[in-house]
Structure 1
Amino acid sequence: MSNELVINSTQKGERIALLQDKRLVEYHVEQSENNFTVGDIYLGTVRKLVPGLNAAFIDIGYEKDAFLHYLDLGPNINSLNKYTKDVLAKRITTHKLNGFPLEPEIDKLGKISQVLSKNSPILVQVVKEPISTKGPRLSCEISIAGRYIVLVPFSSSVNISKKITDKEERQRLARLLNSIKPQNFGIIVRTVAEGKDVAELDRDLTNLLEKWEQGFKTLRSAKPREKIIGEMGRASSILRDMLNESFDSISVDDKEMYDEIRSYIRTIAPDKERILKLYNGKTKIFENFGIEKQLKSVFGRSVSLPGGGYVIIEHTEALHVIDVNSGNKSNVESDQETTAFNVNMEAAKEIARQLRVRDMGGIIVVDFIDMKKAENKRLIYEKMKDEMKNDRSKFTVLPLTKFGLMQITRQRVRPEVNITTGEVCPTCGGTGKITASILVADLIESNLDYMLSKQNERDISIVLHPYLYAYFVQGFPSRRMKWFMKYKRWVKVVKDTSLGITEFHFKNQMGEDIEILPAEVI
């Protein structure tokens, strides 16, 4: 299975697409103004204690106070609070925790008022981004994630991913990391660390300690609401978590982002630097890789299946509901059970993809087509678990109920990705009345004649829908060839599937839009 990462830089941030075998499986929009990303560590202020919820509301600079539950404080919250206050008071001069006396662990069944007090400073980490009307969700169990390990200050344990099942390998990793980890730092070993030698693990640990040291320096002079340690960008975090032998291409269309990712890959996997490419093509990068078209087809309310069936995806405040339908597939198979089973198998694969692409979280209820055989129900359940095994979010899949419903929970840490696939007509603006679409070609040629004859423009480009593109460039002699013979200038024609069929843009040699005359004037 090939993995490709395609990154498109825009004025508002980055659009990131992960392709597996050319199919879109993850899509992220990283906006530059979003300051509250999962993994960011802030110096907050306790605003309010709520004994009824056994929680506190913390001010970290968001428009709504962030939520911190007692169970998210972590057992070593007293050590963290003592360290934070001592650093702010300049009583601690080093980031190292050697010799720092750890406070006793808190009671798991205690009360928030026994640990925190109003208006006191507190070091917190974002575990859920602001979603809908809710502020960020916080934790005081500070952790800094690397490629192979996760560094946990104020702890002393070495925990190994449960997905590493080989007993000897688990013992080897535990022995190695116990020998190199500093005092009062705990470590969580990630699944990708399996088989790695001590040099790679030590390099990862050194990078994380440098990050902690930089955070310590920031904390010494920090003010409330200030970010102490920032999580890396979404693109880098995807590479950190997923970069492996199956990655064969990373394409970026922005030089600054290209340099940032190249520097990061050089740190974590120097042998993979060759697969990073700076895209300089004439068409948009998402257009070139066929992603724009996939986005339009994937994010609709109804999603088609290869065999003729389709699924309907509905979103509510409480949960997501997915309905599976056979469509015209019902006329193909010999009996109803076989039809239902085959459509459900296709639907399970597509639903697992949809959960990742849309980043859907919370409770998801899937209404599969009814099947009578218990064996078929079990196979659908196994298929769904198998398709979701590459999902980086935590999830739980339950077997089908007697009503044919499957319940899935998936961790939600950031807002769901949603793209409006219904397009407002660019000509009528949603009124329902447009200039006759058959006249659009005449309108383009009239504008072109005006620009070349009256405005004396040079190096003109026309960006338009693929149907219009074909109309102007195909055939011999093509209409574009006739323009060349008439005006003695070559006109560049560019197709863009994101445009409506009656929408088009004229651009000058600088790539800037040229004002188009209204139809009434021409």
Structure 2
Amino acid sequence: MSYELIISSVQDECRIALLKEKGLVEFHQEDQGNKFTVGDIYLGTVKKVVQGLNAAFIDIGYEKDAFLHYLDLGPQVNSLNKFTKTVQNRGQVSYKMAKFPMEADIDKLGKINQVLSKNQQILVQVVKEPISTKGPRLSCELSLAGRYLVLVPFSNSVNVSKKVSDSDERKRLVRLISSIKPENFGVIIRTVAEGKDVAELDKDLSSLVQLWEDGMKKLKSAKPRDKVIGEMGRASSILRDVLNESFDSITVDDKVIFEEVRTYLRQIAPDKEKLLKFHNGKAKIFEHFGIEKQLKSLFGQSVSLSGGGYLIIEHTEAMHVIDVNSGNKSNSENNQEDTALAVNLEAVKEIARQLRLRDMGGIIVVDFIDMRNADHKRMVYERMKEEMKGDRSKFTVLPLSKFGLMQITRQRVRPELNITTKETCPTCGGTGKITASILVSDQIEHHLEHLITKQNEKSIRLAVHPFIHAYYTKGLFSKQLGWFFKYKRWVSIMQDTSLPILEFKFYNANQEEIELH
């Protein structure tokens, strides 16, 4: 299985696409003006303590105050506040926190006003970016993520990712990290640390401790709203989380990002530096890799499945709803139950991809095609869990209900990605909307293949707008000629100026229009 990372920089925006077997599975748009990234640590000021919510609103520089709940303070928040105050007052304290006297843990069922007071300065970390009308969500349980480890200040525990299943390997990693970690720092061992030797883990740990020290030096002179420790760029953070042996290439079209990624690769995986390439071709990088076309076809309300079915994806403030439809071409199975199972299993793969691609979070309800067989329902449930294993967000999948509905919850820490795929209609000048015009050739190809291979039409004529006619017929090796070699029959193409640019018609040997579905 091959993975490719494509990074494009245009004006104040960085676009990042992760391809799996040439198909788009993750897409990120990073606005350079967005200050509040998950993982950033700020010096905030308590603006309001709300006992009814058992939470506080913190000013970190966003237009709306950020939200901090009591349960997100962490048991060692008093130690954090004491350390912050000592550093700010330029007291004698080791940034490595060796010999730092820790405070007692706070009560799990306590009240926010027992810990925080108005105008108090506090170190906070962004755990959820501003979404819709809400400000950032914060936590005082600080953590610094590295390639193999996550460093947790004011803790002493060592934990291993649940995805590391081998008990002997778990014990080895805990024993190894416990022997090298600094005092008053906890560590979470990530899945990719499995099988790594002590030198690699120690190097990662040292870089995280250094990052903490640099941040605490900055805290000495920091003012309220200042960023004390910043998360790395989105490109580097994706590499940190997904880089593995399956990676084939990393292609960048911006010199600054190219150098940033190269520097980061030298730190975490020097052997992978040879995969990094700089794109300087005439075609834009996203056009070159066919990503623009995939974006147009994957972010619409309707998403086609290769077997003829399709998904309808609706977004609301409260939840996301996905409806699975068989279409009228999914008739290759023997009976209705087999057809439903085949379409549902195909839909599962696309749904898992769409959740990751659009970064859909909260509650997702999927309305699958009704199936009576309990084994088939279980098969769809198990396949969904399997397909979502590669998702880096936390998720929960429930079995199908008696109404054929599947409920999924998925953690979302950034605003959901939505790309407008509707275009202004060239005929009505914007009073209506059309589907992405770039997809008209795909629709023609799809219908043509069905007419020849499934309906076995012997003689076909295609009527199109003159612009589309030129697209298919011009050139020595035209697309029309390509059809002849592919289907072993000639498809006549005629110009029809009465047709809008995105409409087309097929005719049979009797000059009768073939009805398309």
Q: TM-score normalised to the size of structure 2?
A: 0.84
Residue in 2 aligned with 1:482? Answer: none
Residue in 2 aligned with 1:367? Answer: 367
Residue in 1 aligned with 2:120? Answer: 120
Q: Please, which moves more after superposition, 329-338 or 184-193?
A: 329-338
Residue in 1 aligned with 2:66? Answer: 66
Q: Indicate conservation of the 8 Å contact 1:73/1:141, yes or no.
A: yes
Q: How does 1:17-36 map to 2 (within 5 A)?
A: 17-36=17-36
Unaligned runs of 5+ in 1: 434-465, 479-499, 503-522
Q: Indicate conservation of the 8 Å contact 2:93/2:100, yes or no.
A: no
Residue in 1 aligned with 2:486? Answer: none
CA distance in 2, matches of 1:425, 1:210: 56
**Could you give the per-residue CA deviations for residues 345-385 of structure 1, whole angstroms, max 9, x where no partner exists?**
00000000000000000000000000000000000001100
Q: Cα distance, 1:205 vs. partner?
A: 0.6
Q: Secondary structure at the match of 2:92?
A: coil
Q: TM-score normalised to the size of structure 1?
A: 0.83
CA distance in 2, matches of 1:288, 1:27: 16
Counterpart check, 1:168 vs 2:168: yes
**Could you give the per-residue CA deviations for residues 300-327 of structure 1, whole angstroms, max 9, x where no partner exists?**
0010001000010000110000000000
Unaligned runs of 5+ in 2: 434-465, 479-499, 503-517
Q: Indicate conservation of the 8 Å contact 2:86/2:93, yes or no.
A: no
Q: Please, which moves more after superposition, 56-65 or 326-335?
A: 326-335
Counterpart check, 1:331 vs 2:331: yes
Q: Secondary structure at the match of 1:327?
A: coil
CA distance in 2, matches of 1:330, 1:355: 24
Counterpart check, 1:208 vs 2:227: no
Q: How does 1:472-491 map to 2 (within 5 A)?
A: 474-475=474-475
- The runs of at least 4 aligned residues of structure 1 exceeding 6 Å deviation read none
Q: How does 1:15-94 map to 2 (within 5 A)?
A: 15-94=15-94
**AA in 2 matched with 1:163:** K
Counterpart check, 1:358 vs 2:364: no
Residue in 2 aligned with 1:415? Answer: 415
Residue in 2 aligned with 1:109? Answer: 109
**Could you give the per-residue CA deviations for residues 412-434 of structure 1, whole angstroms, max 9, x where no partner exists?**
1010000111011468641579x
CA distance in 1, matches of 2:368, 2:377: 10
CA distance in 1, matches of 2:467, 2:19: 27
Q: Indicate conservation of the 8 Å contact 1:330/1:336, yes or no.
A: no
CA distance in 1, matches of 2:427, 2:115: 61
Give aligned-pair identity as a percent. 73
**Could you give the per-residue CA deviations for residues 374-422 of structure 1, whole angstroms, max 9, x where no partner exists?**
0000000011001000000000000000000000000010100001110
Q: Indicate conservation of the 8 Å contact 1:70/1:111, yes or no.
A: yes
**AA in 2 matched with 1:351:** I
CA distance in 2, matches of 1:325, 1:477: 38
Counterpart check, 1:383 vs 2:393: no
Q: Indicate conservation of the 8 Å contact 1:329/1:339, yes or no.
A: no
Q: Indicate conservation of the 8 Å contact 1:68/1:138, yes or no.
A: yes
Q: Cα distance, 1:175 vs. partner?
A: 1.1
Q: Secondary structure at the match of 1:388?
A: helix
CA distance in 1, matches of 2:473, 2:217: 61
CA distance in 2, matches of 1:192, 1:203: 15
Residue in 2 aligned with 1:218? Answer: 218
CA distance in 2, matches of 1:427, 1:220: 63
**Could you give the per-residue CA deviations for residues 452-490 of structure 1, whole angstroms, max 9, x where no partner exists?**
xxxxxxxxxxxxxx9689659944799xxxxxxxxxxxx
**AA in 1 matched with 2:159:** N
CA distance in 2, matches of 1:92, 1:115: 24
Q: How does 1:463-478 map to 2 (within 5 A)?
A: 474-475=474-475
**Could you give the per-residue CA deviations for residues 9-51 of structure 1, whole angstroms, max 9, x where no partner exists?**
0112200000000000000000000000000000000000010
Residue in 1 aligned with 2:304? Answer: 304
Residue in 1 aligned with 2:189? Answer: 189
Q: Secondary structure at the match of 2:9?
A: strand
